Amino acid sequence: MKHMLILTAVALLLAALPWLITRAKAAGEFLTNAISAINITHKGSGTRLADASFTARYLLAKQGSDATHIAICTASDKPFAVVPDMTPTTDQANSDLSYPLPINMLGLNEDTERMVASGAIAVDDMLVPDAGGKVKTLPTSGGGTTYVVGKAVTAAAANNDLIEAIPCFPYLVTIPS
């Protein structure tokens, strides 16, 4: 008796399915998603393909060749995110650049970020991009403009030291002459 009841319920649902789909489409609801994102992740994070290999973790990235790609940020670029991973160096099925890398978008992530220092940095220093995706202390003179990406929570003594930083949305500042 139970089996007959279950079979009847399933048959009714299958019979109603075309009507449900038509009704959902008419209401502007669709059962598929046309989003072109590579992956859906938690707040402030995402994934992007790399234009070139990221050979270290925690480097700054800029927007790449299109909306789904990133590239390593330099001192003159507008930074976009911190990349907490690096491009895989070996893969038997795909090329190295076929893997989406995780990114933590500056200003959207609620956590502190690790970043790679290009030299000595003191606690509470404001951080700006430097060559090779690294960060340095905001210069106090020398002229020009740069983007502030955060504030140092820990110190760095030398090139390639990891620091912890409070990230912010990148904002352009003018350096005094």
CATH of residue 53's domain is 2.40.300
Instruction: Kindly report the pTM of this predicted structure.
Output: 0.73
Number of domains comprising the chain:
2
Phi/psi region, residue 93 (left: phi>0; alpha: psi -120 to 50; beta: rest), is alpha
CA gap 51, 57 in Å, rounded: 16
Whether residue 27 is found in the same domain as residue 80: no
- Per the domain annotation, does 96 fall within a domain? yes
Whether residue 86 is found in the same domain as residue 170: yes
Model confidence at 159: pLDDT above 90: yes
Residue 24, CA atoms < 13 Å, CB-side half-sphere: 10
Whether residue 25 is found in the same domain as residue 92: no
* Token pair in block for residue 71: 């590239």
- Per the domain annotation, does 39 fall within a domain? no
Whether residue 72 is found in the same domain as residue 134: yes
Model confidence at 96: pLDDT above 80: no
- Per the domain annotation, does 60 fall within a domain? yes
Q: State pLDDT tens for residues 68-84.
A: 999 999 999 999 999 99
Whether residue 65 is found in the same domain as residue 129: yes
Question: For residue 103, what are the domain limits?
Answer: 45-174
Whether residue 165 is found in the same domain as residue 101: yes
List residues bridging with 117 in a β-sheet. Answer: 135
Q: State pLDDT tens for residues 131-158.
A: 999 999 999 999 999 999 999 999 999 9
The pLDDT-based confidence of 6 (bands split at 50, 70, 90) is confident
Whether residue 21 is found in the same domain as residue 77: no
Whole-number pLDDT of residue 122: 98
Whether residue 30 is found in the same domain as residue 6: yes
SS3 of the chain: helix, strand, coil, percent, to 5: 20, 35, 50
CA gap 131, 171 in Å, rounded: 18
Whether residue 78 is found in the same domain as residue 161: yes
